[in-house]
Structure 1
Amino acid sequence: MNWKYWICFIVLLGLGISFSNAQRIIKGQVKSMHTNLAVPRATIYSIPSGGGTSTDNQGKFQFTIPPSSSAIQVKALGYYTQEVPLDSLQQDTLHIQLQVANSLLEEVVISKKGKYNNDNPAVDLIREVIAHKKQNQLSGQQQIQFEEYEKIQFGLVNPPKKASKFMGNMDFYFKNLDTVSIPGKALLPFYLEENIAQVYSQTSPSRYKKRIQAHKKTEYNPRFINNDNIQAFINAQLQPIDLYQPSLYLLRKLFVSPIADNAPLFYQYYITDTLHTPEGDFISLNIQPKNPYDLLFTGSLQISMDGRYAVRQAELVVSDKANLNFVNDVFITLQYQPNEEGIMELQRTEFGVILGGSSADSFYGRKVQSFSKYERQDSISEEVFKGEPVERAFVEKQGLDYWTLNRPEKLNTFEERAYNNVDSLNNLKSFKALLTVGYLIAKSYYNAGPIEIGPWEYSYSFNNMEGNRFRIGGRTTRQLSEYMLYEGYLAYGARDKKVKYYLSGAFSLNGKPISTYPAHYLKATIQQDVMEPGRGISYLKGDGFFQSFRSNKPTKWLYNTAYRLQHLVEFGDHISLSTTVTHHERRTAGDLLFVNAAGEALNQEIITSDLELELRWAPKEQFYFRNLERNTIVGKQPIFKLQYNHGFKGVWKSNYRYDKVQASVFKRLFLAQLGLADASLTVGKIFGQLPYPLLEMPNIVNKGDVHVIDFAKINSMEFAADSYLKFALDHRVNGFLFNKIPWVRKFKLREIWGVYAFYGQLSAKNNPLLQPNLTQFDLNDAGLSRTRIMRNTPYVEGYAGIDNIFKLFRLEYVKRLSYLNYADIPKDSFRFSLHIHF
């Protein structure tokens, strides 16, 4: 077997049985008898076995049937069902023509001759659809509730036929190939999830609640795989589809909806059919992107002609020219059904994606949802909307009988096997060994069950203070305990010949696993290590191997001994309060000295005892987690933080009394065809007289929750301030301009740009130039101060670049835009880095 399949398989999980020998392959094409046009997404069943497939966008299909099959049955919306006997067939290639279920009133053949004109009947019709969106949109109903069934799959596509020969006792897994779910593809599912939920929606005020009443999914060995993370990752990629929204968020990209308010600017529309059905009259529209390189759809819509102009059906695919990486196919099907009042209610959605290289498919994801039991009410109880927007309302997992009775769509044979196959796989020693290697590659930790050793990137680094630095670290896992977690490291510097260490332990206080929401825990930490001035205590403190090559790497250091006790509690809607007490001792290292204006040596230790209160609000937050680490899955909601610090003078030999207030906000901006932009703003003020290493220094990398703010062109310790403002903007344009340039757009390049700004002031009592007895700024080799006081001008640096070079690399030009009249500053540079994304 190709080893790349298994490597990719394990990396994806870290975010987180057999056929008869006698086979017959049936393939062919389904067309309309009246128009001779292909019928996409027609379903084809084997009789009496029940297996089957569906046609692709060209009406073509291919699947394997057992020898017991006597006929195939072909069904398609708007057509009569047709059965084709197999015993009389002379060949295995079929050409099937379906009869329209009701009379065809009119046919308009698509014509692309001549220049497209926005003033045509098709555009007039789509404008009516846009004008009536509010009354037709499901989420626009004042009070509504319904039942939702959801099925999510993820796995391999067309694995090599000889793969099982190389898998030893794991070969059974590679024989469960699903040829039904996606036409023409042999699928090997390794993740399957099902949910049955009751959904409540209200528009004024806008509220939403989804109560999951039954849940089932494949479960991998929790020693290596965080199954909750797999679920969160796949759900983040396969988001719910609402055609009535301006943009559809797919694979973390924004696609303009074909019925968005500005859709006629991006799409061409053609009327193809007008149909009579028992549900009413409908017009079929073909839609085409004006620029196939943009993130747009190709496909068809059926529009009701009862004055509501509602969508009855949508068949959408993404052009293979669209600016996407590793995506070979994206298809979306939406089906609506009129209720007793004639209002179109969403009945079923299917969203699928095929991933791979330019010549072969590798992975697939598929999400099917069905909706039923719609009820419109005058009011929904306030109690319903309390708590999380999505919550689990079940105590135990439902049994087989429950799912058999309540699934609106029966699982096919291959899907049913997926659950048992994963359980069998988990029990194999060979699979556990494979997971061990995969976890090491994906997470940089060696998993030994109760403990993990790593990360290996931090095992070696170098700097001018320690020379060669060696470090070994590790942490406990949920296998040891879900209610207590520990992590720590030992490090040694070959040049300074000192041992450093870190040890931390966290303990749950609410009787729930410590890493899940809502968390309530107590965490104690002790650290002794050498750090650059301005950096706080942390397990990962910037001493990784690749940080050794920073262009603005630190040259001045402090030895630190710190003790910290933190209490964190989370409330509803992801509001959290963290209370932290820290005792921190800092001592000069190397050639860094604390002197006054007369050159007299001062106390070379800075000791503080600090109380910190942090209030954080991240509405509707979702995240991946491992131990206490959380990585937010960024959505439309902002993240707010408010922090207060107080320093106690005289407590545990502390030297300083001070107060600090800081507030920050982060927001992701969804800009439709202009891509995504991450923006963050931080303001702060420090009260009290302090030595400059305790002031705000912008050269320290601020990772925040999701937004990394890294001032690349500021020297270490270059600025210090006691009142400050920081702003950062990173914009990924996703090829909006490059897609319009012939000969360039085929390379699928993407524009990126950003700007970082810092503005700070230093009050007179903290300014060493005005206070001779204060600790003076350190001097460089030329006798000039390393640290500067900002004038009435903010520090600004920006970058612009090209992303997605050969789908792997990013090239940026970074330039310092202010404070340029100094000899020792880096003014500009190029950055070349690896970035892999859709």
Structure 2
Amino acid sequence: MKHFLIISLLILSASISAQTKVSGVIKDDTGYPVSFANVIFKDSQEGTISDENGRFYLESDKTYKAVVFSFMGFTTKEQELTARSTYNMEVVLEETSDALDEVVIYTGKTSKKNNPALDILRKIWENRRENGVKKFKQYQYDKYEKLEFDLNTIDSALMSNRIFKGMEFVFEQTDTSRITGNTYLPIFINEAVSKVYGDNTLKQEKEVLQGNKNSGFDNNQTLIAFIKDLYSEYDVYDNYLKFFDKAFTSPLSRTGIDVYNYVLQDSAYRDNKWCYNIVYYPRRKNELTFKGDFWVNDTTWAIKEINLKASKSANLNWVRDVYIEQEFDVLNDSIFLITRDYFLSDFSFQKKEEAKGIYGKRTTLYDNYIFDIPKDKKFYNKQVDPYNYDVYNRPDDFWDENRMEKLSKDEKGVYKMLDTLKTVGRFKALYNIGATLASGYYEVNNFDIGPVFSIFGFNEAEGMRIRLGGRTYFSQNDQWRLEGFGAYGFKDDRFKYGLSAKWLLDRKSRLTIFGGNRRDVEQTGSSLTNSNDVLGRSLASSSLLSVGANDRLSRINLSTIGFDIEPWKNFIIRLTGSYRTLKSATDTFSIDYKVMEDGVFTGDVKSHLKQAEIQFGFFYTPGRKTSGYGVERTVINTGNFPSFFASYSYGLKGVMGGDFEYKKLQALYTQPWNIGGFGRLLSTVEVGTTIGAVPLSLLNPIPGNQTYFSLYNTFTQLDYYEFVSDTYASLHLQHNFGGRIFSRIPLLRKLDLREVIGFRAVYGSISQENIDLNASNIVYKAPEDIYWEWSVGVGNIFRVFRLDFNFRGNYLDNPGARDFGVTGVFGFEF
């Protein structure tokens, strides 16, 4: 993501390379738009269809003298072209009276009965598993992928803007989109050649990268991986197609009849195969649907070609257009295999056609299919070095031989253009501003200062707090990294700091050693699962505003050392040794505990804690995607994969003055669920227990939330330390309907709001021996009658904010219990 915002700072594009271009609108003789009409260059197979508003755009590298417009029930019209580019055409089609008795014209909602298009759709469902690589036990093929970012809708006013002074040469590479008709400037291209192996019996697939080349800046793995995840693999035969964390209903879905209108428009030979052409469009607005058409073979009922364009009214942020093309070829006269996949997204802050934006494009070509050659399971499980120098530095003749689609003149020019651009001082300044906004760090000679967004904080112990940190950063693939911060509280007049170091010893197994030390003020117990991150800090410790007094804070001195290893992809084993001292940070909060010997109170009370601990844990995140191969990696698909964590901790009494011996078992499981067209559910389960008598600082307070922010995995209506336990089990559920309900309410439909509901529950208990140790000013109370709360929220307010209304379910008689509260959260979501 570091370079994603940088691209948006360059807003550019204008000039023409295609030979023939036409655009305009098609209407009938009453002035009503003709949706999904055919637009074809005369004597060619190059064409498109008009959209739901009758608008069209078509271009070709060839020169044509005429364009033909046709639609069932209307007279075909031929329009001569007197210029290479003809825009804003207004084409009027006349109805044919002799055809009205023979042809049924579908307008508005089409019938679900006696509709031949639906009969064909049912045939597709029956045969959809009989096509593609899923038909074979094993498969392999060559794959070429081209990812591209373009700046679009560039006009003369922008080109003359003084911000581009000294960079005018970039506009020499502009082109015009054949999909939207907008001028664009390619500014980033990544090419990759791979060999893909799959086994349907083992349910395994492996992609071996053979070559990678990109224009732009060095170390672009994060941007590349981000785009790849954005355009994750999909199968048009599936009921739902996932893009931008949203589930779009496929036009080939079994639920498509309830979501789309279908019209059988034409039939013709497509590459010597007789096919039917079906046009589809949404039945309702504001849903995640497409419009377009597809060609389906009349014997295998396999898709030959399909076009999908996201509905303009779809509840989708920052994306003005989504357009998909897929083409399939025939193997052995019966099996259809994908040969080309084209995906275009038009990102923009506004949905107006004249607004400036960024195209993100992916073109994937497939060739040399081979089937039923088995490979051992070890082949699929074997870890490979994530970085091979030769793969990323292939010579030009490699690309000439393996590139399945030639680069256009403008795409070739991007490689040279960006090399020149990086030498321009003004561009370097824009780059640095964008990098700081995107990453939160400001780079100074291989050292990053930041994060800039955590400079200010406030709590009862420190008052106003200022924090400034930094890290070494030579590239995102650094083998080692040093990081630290310094902070000062104006109320307690104390300096705090944190230091950490990591070193990747082996890139293949990701064997890493780490260590660090932190002296700080912290809200312990802000999460159930313990963390030994020496630089970590919860929002509960530094929120500028809070509900009630935020004074239950501790002064912590934490040191850690350990190592972790990743023997299998996304499976990490970690061993950590830690030593901490804790004492209260305010006069109004106490962590005092009684000194016990053989279960008998000695009469002494301690107000500080010393504790050494060893923790063994593992993390498993199947489906997680990362970029980079250094000591730190960037997670690309955050929140889109399940996460498992389990740990065993052992407290060492007497070691380095450790006060207690105990055993602690903890586990956490988080799973996101895409529930078809009904939105997205996020669920988390946590369980844990502590064996042995320990004081408050080593117990498990149920994590409350006294901030005004909606913090997932906390209990919004609980105060800090309101419940304390040594054994617990908690459940968190949060479901986002994505606007499915609001889209059916006329007054709310245009606001693109999204509905969110939540439910949270926890059970906990506390042993008598732990109660006997307590000498703090916290009264131990465990939620032995399951505590629960629920919430309803309105999301996507101004496209960046969600407001939650939270309700406490029980324990309303607790002192100071908050039965209702309002919280909010900012976030950028598609």
d(CA) in 2 for partners of 1:566 and 1:159? 53
The aligned residue for residue 237 of structure 2 is 244
**Alpha-carbon deviation of 1:487?**
1.0
The aligned residue for residue 102 of structure 1 is none
**Alpha-carbon deviation of 1:479?**
4.8
What does 1:529-548 align with in structure 2 at a 5 Å threshold?
Answer: 529-534=520-525, 537-542=533-538, 547-548=543-544
d(CA) in 1 for partners of 2:48 and 2:625? 35
SS for the counterpart of 1:656 is coil
SS for the counterpart of 1:602 is strand
d(CA) in 2 for partners of 1:22 and 1:790? 70
The aligned residue for residue 757 of structure 1 is 761
**Alpha-carbon deviation of 1:434?**
1.5
**Alpha-carbon deviation of 1:633?**
1.1
C-alpha contact 1:70 1:85 (8 A) present in aligned 2? no
For residue 194 of structure 1, the aligned residue among 191, 195, 203 is 191
Q: Residues 471, 632 of structure 1: CA spacing in aligned structure 2 closer, same or farther, 3 A cutoff? A: same
Q: Residues 231, 24 of structure 1: CA spacing in aligned structure 2 closer, same or farther, 3 A cutoff? A: closer
The aligned residue for residue 369 of structure 1 is 364
SS for the counterpart of 1:216 is strand
C-alpha contact 1:202 1:208 (8 A) present in aligned 2? yes
**Alpha-carbon deviation of 1:607?**
1.0
**Alpha-carbon deviation of 1:794?**
1.7
Q: Residues 352, 545 of structure 1: CA spacing in aligned structure 2 closer, same or farther, 3 A cutoff? A: farther
Deviates further, 21-30 or 367-376: 21-30
For residue 171 of structure 1, the aligned residue among 168, 173, 186 is 168
The aligned residue for residue 524 of structure 1 is 515
Deviates further, 533-542 or 206-215: 533-542
The aligned residue for residue 158 of structure 1 is 153
The aligned residue for residue 775 of structure 2 is 776
d(CA) in 2 for partners of 1:13 and 1:577? 41
Q: Residues 278, 648 of structure 1: CA spacing in aligned structure 2 closer, same or farther, 3 A cutoff? A: closer
d(CA) in 2 for partners of 1:681 and 1:777? 30
C-alpha contact 1:213 1:392 (8 A) present in aligned 2? no
C-alpha contact 1:143 1:379 (8 A) present in aligned 2? yes
Query: Do structure 1's residue 656 and structure 2's residue 660 form an aligned pair?
Result: yes
**Alpha-carbon deviation of 1:385?**
1.9
Deviations 1:25-53 (A, max 9, x none): 8535799xxx99744697999xxxxxx99
Deviations 1:234-270 (A, max 9, x none): 1121222311122111122111111223222222222
**Alpha-carbon deviation of 1:214?**
1.6
Q: Residues 416, 634 of structure 1: CA spacing in aligned structure 2 closer, same or farther, 3 A cutoff? A: same
**What TM-score do you get using the length of structure 2 for normalisation?**
0.85
Q: Residues 386, 24 of structure 1: CA spacing in aligned structure 2 closer, same or farther, 3 A cutoff? A: closer
C-alpha contact 2:422 2:428 (8 A) present in aligned 1? yes
For residue 743 of structure 1, the aligned residue among 741, 747, 767 is 747
C-alpha contact 2:285 2:314 (8 A) present in aligned 1? yes
C-alpha contact 2:669 2:686 (8 A) present in aligned 1? yes
Q: What RMSD over aligned residues (CA atoms) do the two structures have, in Å? A: 3.8
The aligned residue for residue 301 of structure 2 is 309
For residue 695 of structure 1, the aligned residue among 673, 684, 699 is 699
C-alpha contact 1:478 1:627 (8 A) present in aligned 2? no
**Alpha-carbon deviation of 1:739?**
1.8
Query: Do structure 1's residue 261 and structure 2's residue 265 form an aligned pair?
Result: no
Q: Residues 29, 543 of structure 1: CA spacing in aligned structure 2 closer, same or farther, 3 A cutoff? A: closer
**Alpha-carbon deviation of 1:315?**
1.4
User: 1:495 corresponds to which letter in structure 2?
Assistant: K
The aligned residue for residue 96 of structure 2 is none
What does 1:178-327 align with in structure 2 at a 5 Å threshold?
Answer: 178-180=175-177, 182-220=179-217, 222=218, 227-277=220-270, 279-306=272-299, 308-327=300-319
Query: Do structure 1's residue 457 and structure 2's residue 439 form an aligned pair?
Result: no
For residue 432 of structure 2, the aligned residue among 432, 436, 443 is 436
**Alpha-carbon deviation of 1:483?**
2.1
Q: Residues 196, 107 of structure 1: CA spacing in aligned structure 2 closer, same or farther, 3 A cutoff? A: farther
For residue 623 of structure 1, the aligned residue among 621, 626, 643 is 626
C-alpha contact 2:621 2:641 (8 A) present in aligned 1? yes
Q: Residues 595, 10 of structure 1: CA spacing in aligned structure 2 closer, same or farther, 3 A cutoff? A: same
What does 1:496-575 align with in structure 2 at a 5 Å threshold?
Answer: 496-510=492-506, 512=507, 519-534=510-525, 537-542=533-538, 547-551=543-547, 554-575=550-571
C-alpha contact 1:271 1:284 (8 A) present in aligned 2? yes
User: 2:685 corresponds to which letter in structure 1?
Assistant: L
C-alpha contact 1:44 1:72 (8 A) present in aligned 2? no
d(CA) in 2 for partners of 1:665 and 1:365? 34
d(CA) in 1 for partners of 2:567 and 2:651? 27
Deviations 1:418-467 (A, max 9, x none): 12222222222222221222222223322113211122233222211112
**Alpha-carbon deviation of 1:673?**
0.5
User: 2:208 corresponds to which letter in structure 1?
Assistant: R
d(CA) in 1 for partners of 2:43 and 2:436? 44
User: 1:288 corresponds to which letter in structure 2?
Assistant: Y
User: 1:139 corresponds to which letter in structure 2?
Assistant: K
Query: Do structure 1's residue 814 and structure 2's residue 809 form an aligned pair?
Result: no
SS for the counterpart of 2:525 is coil
What does 1:788-799 align with in structure 2 at a 5 Å threshold?
Answer: 788-791=781-784, 793-799=785-791
User: 1:486 corresponds to which letter in structure 2?
Assistant: L
**What TM-score do you get using the length of structure 1 for normalisation?**
0.84
For residue 486 of structure 1, the aligned residue among 478, 482, 487 is 482
Aligned residues: 779
Q: Residues 492, 28 of structure 1: CA spacing in aligned structure 2 closer, same or farther, 3 A cutoff? A: closer
C-alpha contact 2:561 2:577 (8 A) present in aligned 1? yes
**Alpha-carbon deviation of 1:795?**
1.9
User: 1:129 corresponds to which letter in structure 2?
Assistant: I
Q: Residues 44, 279 of structure 1: CA spacing in aligned structure 2 closer, same or farther, 3 A cutoff? A: closer
Q: Residues 541, 159 of structure 1: CA spacing in aligned structure 2 closer, same or farther, 3 A cutoff? A: same
Query: Do structure 1's residue 470 and structure 2's residue 462 form an aligned pair?
Result: no
User: 2:511 corresponds to which letter in structure 1?
Assistant: H
The aligned residue for residue 121 of structure 2 is 126
**Alpha-carbon deviation of 1:7?**
11
**Alpha-carbon deviation of 1:658?**
0.6
d(CA) in 2 for partners of 1:43 and 1:169? 44
**Alpha-carbon deviation of 1:546?**
6.8
d(CA) in 2 for partners of 1:38 and 1:115? 17
Query: Do structure 1's residue 727 and structure 2's residue 731 form an aligned pair?
Result: yes
User: 1:170 corresponds to which letter in structure 2?
Assistant: M
